[in-house]
Chain A
Amino acid sequence: MSIDLPTGSPPARVAFYNDPKARSIAYQVALCAVIGFLVYAAARNAIANLERAHIASGFGFWNTTAGFDISQALIQFDSQTSSYGRAFWVGLLNTLLVASIGIVIATILGFIIGIARLSKNWLVAKVAAGYVETIRNIPLLLQLLFWYNAVLKALPEFRESFVIPGGIYLNNRGLFIPQPIFKDGFGWVLIALAAGVIGAIAFYVWARKRQEQTGQQAPVFSVGLALVIGLPLVVLVLAGFPLAFEFPAAGRFNINGGIEILPEFAALLFGLSIYTAAFIAEVVRAGILAVSRGQTEAAYSLGLRARPTLRLIVVPQAMRVIIPPLTSQYLNLTKNSTLAVAIGYPDLVQVFTGTVLNQTGQAVEVVAITMAVYLTISLATSLLMNIYNSRIALVER
């Protein structure tokens, strides 16, 4: 492709080293090269020094038999046959479990308290303010130790377990609930559940469209409930009830069988959720206060009542302010879950950077893997929240 330059004097040619664009590219390439070289040199030096100090290096330990036991494993883990690599996955899943449940609880609790703090009811507002000021000013580690001791001290010993009808036991070793065991044919129930959820969403979309066109409202909630819960139940009965329960039973020292919820898990979950909820409450309060009072007044003057005003006018605008700091709180909760180490919950740091590091002695590799994992979790959380943020952000026309 050639461009005919207009006749006349050609633009003054600048030497490439005087061209600002070429220069800035050159600088960036040089900087990248220097950083790349530093990383390479550091890694090489590290390997050489480890070798000189006779410290084993490399990732050979990954497939070696672990030989220790982990109190909570979401996947099969056996001290005699499972590897250090599997211990890593056990720890990672435990971290993700407590972080994801913690995020859900902290969000719900935080929204309730944040809104309560703006309540016109004096007592409710003051209780919420007291909660926020107390909880967020006490170090999380102390709170975790408090919850752990509270859980252990308040609950009875194994011999005096609380027994709740239906095969539920509660003692200072944990909460034990029956575990559902799925037999052949349970797949149909899952299919029915999926169909129910899809049906409910379809009904919701249809009902909204109809309301926009005709103004008629449809019983979305009861129809949705029937589809999501009723349909699978009917299929469950038709399939001949392919579901059994494994009930916990008292052994000599412990309750065995069923699903076991450890006191360490409960304490960590309480501590993290309650602590983070205090911060989320402030984020939510700030978000709501950021919506100008005129918006509410305009909604009232259009005849909307308090609840729809909050739901349709205030919250959607507040969300734009809330989401970015909320993301930070989610990241904080996930990273704070590493304090599990203080109360013996087998999270990634406790299992991997604790036991595995010590049993293998390979600090550099283990710490590098752990840092990479937390970076990945945090970046993934950020990414999801940024996608959500860009969806609700103000679309400027």
Chain B
Amino acid sequence: MKRFASMLALGLIVVFAQSASAQTLKAVKDRGTLNCGANGTLAGFGLPDAQGKWTGLDVDICRAVAAAIFNDANKVKFVPLSAKDRFTALQSGEVDVLMRNTTWTSSRDSSLGLTFTGVDYYDGQGFMVRKALKVNSALELGDASVCVQQGTTTELNLADFFHAHNMKLKTVTFATANEAVKAYDAGRCDAYTTDASGLYAERLRLANANDHIILPEIISKEPLGPVVRQGDDQWFTAVKWVLFAMINAEELNITSKNIDEMTKSTNPDVKRFVGTEGNYGEQLGLSKDWAVRIVKLVGNYGESFERNVGQDSPLKIDRGLNKLWNKGGIQYAPPVR
């Protein structure tokens, strides 16, 4: 139904609208809530709990955007989207920002009328199999049936990987990750493939998580990040800098716990960050204390990572590539100045 609604909305907008609004930031401020396209079924990235409270790394980015605009991390309406529907929902204006473990690729950046603002998680595609199969490498999967979610880069990488290694492949595609995982669990497929982070999250939901292993091969680059519509540079810049603020906060050792002391800091980098020097937030169309709001209400990048997917979460994913650039990873943000 949701899919149909957004299709219809896109159709109507495309057919009848005279000009698409380019003033997303103003529209969000006037509306009083941020509409955020999220996953809805992926633990660690976007998942509502029994009380309807959304958590996850992607969810936190949306909360950070809301915090920067409204000084309230809860002024977000999360719209759960499947991989198939997500771009249509953003194009049609149903959501202001798409934050749904979406891989940044050239064609998505160009032909969809969308643009990626950055990378909140450096991922790669992997495979999960049953231990009983006694498979230790993805290169032994020749001839296997693989369950995959359709409309994803995963679906394309899968075909490429098997072709490149001269292996036969039987793909079974499903509209949602839920259906694909269920079919894998029911024995329809030998392997399930998606981004490695997704594999860890889905494995927790299987009947017997310990009967399944994740193979060591990572077969693709999957930089996941926030997406906005093209043609609204102000909004693009604002969303981009919210993520940069979270990364910069970690680099400056500013956390949700010490933020109040930090506002009194004399370190010039910190002063610019918290807004006691300069008007960098206002230049972005936000407030002077935009970064303080983000860190106070949501936390810095490292806090969010550990809480949602890292050691403080059931997923226990190693930070790997997502460590800061000065700690051996590739997470890097331009400076606030």
Chain B 19-31: CB-based contact to A (< 8 A → 1; otherwise 0): 1100000000000
**Are A172 and B188 touching (Cβ within 8 A)?**
yes
Given the known inter-chain contacts A55-B111, A251-B143, please indicate yes or no for A341 contacting B163, CB distance below 8 A.
Answer: no
CB proximity of B235 to chain A, nearest CB, Å = 14
**Are A53 and B175 touching (Cβ within 8 A)?**
no
**Are A264 and B172 touching (Cβ within 8 A)?**
yes
**Are A363 and B173 touching (Cβ within 8 A)?**
no
CB proximity of A170 to chain B, nearest CB, Å = 14
B321 at interface (Cβ–Cβ under 8 A)? no
CB proximity of A223 to chain B, nearest CB, Å = 46
Query: Which one of A63-71, A95-103, A134-142, A314-322 is at the interface?
Result: A63-71
**Are B16 and A361 touching (Cβ within 8 A)?**
no
**Are A358 and B84 touching (Cβ within 8 A)?**
yes
Please, how many angstroms separate the alpha-carbon atoms of A354 and B87 in the complex? 12
B303 at interface (Cβ–Cβ under 8 A)? no
Q: Could you list which residues of chain A lie within 8 angstroms of chain B, going by C-beta atoms?
A: 42, 45-46, 49-50, 52-56, 67-71, 79-80, 149, 152-153, 157, 172-173, 251-254, 256, 263-264, 341-344, 346, 350, 354-355, 357-361, 363-364, 367
B72 at interface (Cβ–Cβ under 8 A)? no
Chain B 127-154: CB-based contact to A (< 8 A → 1; otherwise 0): 0000001000000011111000011100
CB proximity of B158 to chain A, nearest CB, Å = 7
The interface residues of chain A lying within 8 Å CB-to-CB of B87 are 358, 361
**Are B171 and A71 touching (Cβ within 8 A)?**
yes
The interface residues of chain A lying within 8 Å CB-to-CB of B151 are 354-355, 357-359
Q: Which of B15, B158, B173, B231 contacts A42, CB < 8 Å? A: B15
Total residue contacts A-B, CB cutoff 8 A = 148
B316 at interface (Cβ–Cβ under 8 A)? no
Please, how many angstroms separate the alpha-carbon atoms of A354 and B152 in the complex? 10
Q: Which of B14, B110, B156, B168 contacts A49, CB < 8 Å? A: B14
The interface residues of chain B lying within 8 Å CB-to-CB of A46 are 14-15
- Top 5 A-B pairs ranked by shortest CB distance? A358-B151, A79-B159, A56-B111, A55-B113, A69-B171
CB proximity of B161 to chain A, nearest CB, Å = 11
Chain B 152-188: CB-based contact to A (< 8 A → 1; otherwise 0): 1001101110010000111111110001100100111
**Are B16 and A173 touching (Cβ within 8 A)?**
no
B230 at interface (Cβ–Cβ under 8 A)? yes
Q: Which of A342, A359, A360 contacts B179, CB < 8 Å? A: A342
Please, how many angstroms separate the alpha-carbon atoms of A80 and B166 in the complex? 12
B329 at interface (Cβ–Cβ under 8 A)? no
Chain B, interface SS category: mixed
Please, how many angstroms separate the alpha-carbon atoms of A68 and B172 in the complex? 11
Please, how many angstroms separate the alpha-carbon atoms of A49 and B20 in the complex? 8
B190 at interface (Cβ–Cβ under 8 A)? yes
Q: Which of A70, A152, A354 contacts B84, CB < 8 Å? A: A354
**Are B111 and A361 touching (Cβ within 8 A)?**
yes
The interface residues of chain A lying within 8 Å CB-to-CB of B163 are 79-80
Which residue in chain B gives the minimum CB-CB distance to A70? B171
Q: List 7 A-B contacts (CB under 8 A).
A: A49-B15, A54-B113, A344-B183, A350-B175, A358-B83, A361-B112, A367-B11
Please, how many angstroms separate the alpha-carbon atoms of A364 and B158 in the complex? 27
Q: Which of B18, B143, B156 contacts A253, CB < 8 Å? A: B143
User: Which residue among A49, A69, A256, A350 has the maximum number of chain B CB atoms within 10 Å of its CB?
Assistant: A69
Q: Which of B112, B170, B172 contacts A344, CB < 8 Å? A: B172
The interface residues of chain A lying within 8 Å CB-to-CB of B10 are 363-364
The interface residues of chain A lying within 8 Å CB-to-CB of B111 are 55-56, 360-361
**Are A52 and B231 touching (Cβ within 8 A)?**
yes
User: Which residue among B113, B163, B231 has the maximum number of chain A CB atoms within 10 Å of its CB?
Assistant: B113
Which residue in chain B gives the minimum CB-CB distance to A364? B14
Please, how many angstroms separate the alpha-carbon atoms of A152 and B172 in the complex? 13
Q: Which of B18, B108, B150, B230 contacts A355, CB < 8 Å? A: B150
Interface residues in B75-115 (C-beta closer than 8 Å to A): 83-84, 87-88, 91, 107-108, 110-113
The interface residues of chain A lying within 8 Å CB-to-CB of B172 are 71, 264, 344
B333 at interface (Cβ–Cβ under 8 A)? no
The interface residues of chain B lying within 8 Å CB-to-CB of A69 are 155, 158-159, 169, 171, 173
Given the known inter-chain contacts A53-B229, A69-B171, A358-B150, please indicate yes or no for A344 contacting B179, CB distance below 8 A.
Answer: yes
**Are A341 and B112 touching (Cβ within 8 A)?**
no
The interface residues of chain A lying within 8 Å CB-to-CB of B107 are 361
B13 at interface (Cβ–Cβ under 8 A)? yes
**Are A149 and B186 touching (Cβ within 8 A)?**
yes
**Are A253 and B187 touching (Cβ within 8 A)?**
no
**Are B143 and A152 touching (Cβ within 8 A)?**
no
Please, how many angstroms separate the alpha-carbon atoms of A238 and B36 in the complex? 72
The interface residues of chain A lying within 8 Å CB-to-CB of B158 are 68-69
